[in-house]
A and B are shown apart, each in its own frame.
Chain A
Amino acid sequence: EPEVTQTPSHQVTQMGQEVILRCVPISNHLYFYWYRQILGQKVEFLVSFYNNEISEKSEIFDDQFSVERPDGSNFTLKIRSTKLEDSAMYFCASSAQVYNEQFFGPGTRLTVL
C-alpha cells in the first residue's frame, strides 16, 4: 500500500543552524503539506503546496521556512536558522484532492539545542 515516507526520523541541531526535512509523498498525489506538532499538543498546519507553488501557509510559516519540490518525488521543508521553539515533530502529508483525505508520514522529530 502506498505511503508517505520521511527522512530523517530524528534530527538534532544547534540553534541557528539550517535544517532540511525530506518527504516522499504518495506518487499519484498532487497536494502536499507540512504540519508541526509540539510535544503533547495538537497538529498545526504549516503550508500546502500544489503545482510547484505554495497554495496556503499559516502564521507559523514565516520567512525562516521554505518548501521545495526539487524533483518529481521529493518534497522538502527547510528551516533557515532554527530556534529553540522549532523543536517539534514535523509531519508531511499528501492528498489526491485539496480537501480530500490526507495521508501522513511517520514524522521527523526535530530537536534544537
Chain B
Amino acid sequence: GQQLNQSPQSMFIQEGEDVSMNCTSSSIFNTWLWYKQDPGEGPVLLIALYKAGELTSNGRLTAQFGITRKDSFLNISASIPSDVGIYFCAGYPNTGNQFYFGTGTSLTVIP
C-alpha cells in the first residue's frame, strides 16, 4: 500500500511557539486531510485540502496542499496546552480508492 512519511515523529515545544509538520509520499494525491487525535478518542478532522497549492486555515491552524501533489504541511501558530495530541495526515492517492494515514506527529506543549 501507499506509504505516507510524516515528520517529525514527535515535538516538544514551549507554549506560544509555532509548530510545523509535514507529510510526504512518492505518489500523487488528490486529497489531503489533517486530523488531531487525543488519547483513547477518535481522530477529529482539522482541515481538508483538494487542490495543489491550496492553502487553508482553521483558526490558528494552516495547512497546504503541496504543488507537487506529493506532500502536505500543517502549521500551528502560537501553540497552547490544548494543542497537545497526535496529528495525522491522510491522503487519497490519484490512482487509489482509499485514504492512507501517516504515522503521526506527537505534539507536547510545555506551559
Partners in one complex: yes
B59 at the interface (CB under 8 A from A): no
B82 at the interface (CB under 8 A from A): no
Do A102 and B33 have beta carbons less than 8 Å apart? yes
Whether A99 contacts B30 in the complex (CB less than 8 A), given A48-B98, A55-B97, comes out as yes
Interface string of B2-35 (1 = CB under 8 A from A): 0000000000000000000000000000110101
Range of interface residues on B (Cβ < 8 Å) = 20 to 34
Do A101 and B48 have beta carbons less than 8 Å apart? yes
Q: How far is the CB of A90 from chain B (nearest CB, A)?
A: 10
Stretch at the interface among A63-71, A73-81, A103-111: A103-111
B30 contacts across to A, CB distance below 8 A: 99
Assembled-state Cα–Cα distance A105/B98 (Å): 18
Binding site for B on A (CB under 8 A): 4, 42-45, 48, 55-56, 58, 89, 91, 98-107, 109
Binding site for A on B (CB under 8 A): 1, 30-31, 33, 35, 40-45, 48, 88, 90, 92, 97-104
Contacts A/B (CB < 8 Å), 18 sampled: A42-B101, A42-B102, A43-B43, A43-B90, A44-B101, A45-B99, A56-B98, A58-B98, A89-B40, A99-B99, A100-B48, A101-B45, A102-B45, A102-B90, A102-B99, A104-B43, A104-B44, A105-B42
